[in-house]
């Protein structure tokens, strides 16, 4: 069964450093997302991406965050200057033409020290 | 924004028992999904169910959109059902996949 894959599974970085989280969505999907989950809390929407542009973003997704689809298969989330409070599990997701059922990757656990 | 409340917050069962998880939401939705987060943190999509009833093996779900709630039924529970169950909704008339998650129900199934 097709699945969303994320790399790396764990990322440790120093405060102020840039990180790039990578995702390969399901191949025929058209909508791509990033969500995050701070330890012990609920999952939060960050951004959705369709037709090579951001379609929705949350208040969390400020100027420090950016997304890109550099080629036909990858979807990336960049955090320009990480803060301690960016420590979380970051999930990539994708969905088909109707943006209905979302399929999530296994997540990247980001730890900012 | 829309509010999503799940109950109960915690549930402990013996293997073989049945359970019902509830999700209440504060506004009209066009998208409602149930997820299982397993002990390794992976989010598994169980149902896309903005209205009506669906069944998948031992699991079934019902959403009554007019009354703003959804139920997830787990029958003959197994230890592998343990984890956190999330309800997630999207308000409005058009679906973009911008889901608001509830706080989840932590399910523990003992052998």
Provide the pairing of β-strand B105-110 with B83-91: antiparallel
Do A56 and B33 count as a contact with CB atoms less than 8 A apart?
no
Which of chain B's residues have a Cβ under 8 Å away from the Cβ of A88? none
On whether the CB atoms of residues A46 and A37 are closer than 8 A, the answer is: no
Nearest to A103 among B40, B41, B45 (CB): B45
> pLDDT, tens digit, for every residue of A30-88?
999 999 999 988 999 999 999 899 999 999 999 999 999 988 789 999 999 999 999 99
Give me the half-sphere count of Cα atoms (radius 13 Å) on the Cβ side of residue A74: 11
Identify the domain containing residue A52 by its residue range: 5-96+106-110
Main-chain dihedrals φ then ψ at residue A13, nearest 5 degrees:
-145, 160
- Which CATH number do you get for residue A32? 2.60.40.10
A95: which chain B residues are within 8 Å (Cβ-Cβ)? 97
For B5, the closest chain A residue by CA position comes to A42
- Least confident range from A19-23, B9-13, B91-95: namely B91-95
> From the CB of residue B78, how many other CB atoms can be counted at a distance below 10 Å?
13
Question: B4-110 — its CATH code?
Answer: 2.60.40.10
Distance from CA of B75 to the nearest CA of A (A): 23
């Amino acid at each position: 069964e097709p699945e969303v894959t994320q790399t790396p599974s764990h990322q440790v970085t120093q405060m102020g450093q840039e990180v790039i989280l990578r995702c390969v969505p399901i191949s025929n999907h058209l909508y791509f997302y990033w969500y995050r989950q701070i330890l012990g809390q609920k999952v939060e929407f960050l951004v959705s991406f369709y037709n090579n542009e951001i379609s929705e973003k949350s208040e969390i997704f400020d100027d420090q965050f950016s997304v890109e689809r550099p080629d036909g298969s990858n979807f990336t989330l960049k955090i320009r200057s990480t803060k301690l409070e960016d420590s979380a599990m970051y999930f990539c997701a994708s969905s088909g033409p109707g943006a209905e059922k979302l399929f999530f990757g296994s997540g990247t656990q980001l730890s900012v020290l | 924004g829309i509010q999503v409340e799940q109950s109960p917050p915690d549930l402990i069962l013996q293997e073989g028992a049945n359970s019902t998880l509830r999700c209440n939401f504060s506004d009209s939705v066009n998208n409602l999904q149930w997820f299982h987060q397993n002990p390794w943190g992976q989010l598994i999509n169980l149902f896309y169910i903005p209205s009506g009833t669906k069944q998948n093996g031992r699991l079934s779900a019902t959403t009554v959109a007019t009354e703003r709630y959804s139920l997830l039924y787990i029958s003959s529970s197994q230890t592998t059902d343990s984890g956190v169950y999330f309800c997630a909704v999207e308000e409005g008339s058009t679906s973009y996949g911008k889901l608001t998650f509830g706080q989840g129900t932590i399910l523990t199934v003992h052998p």
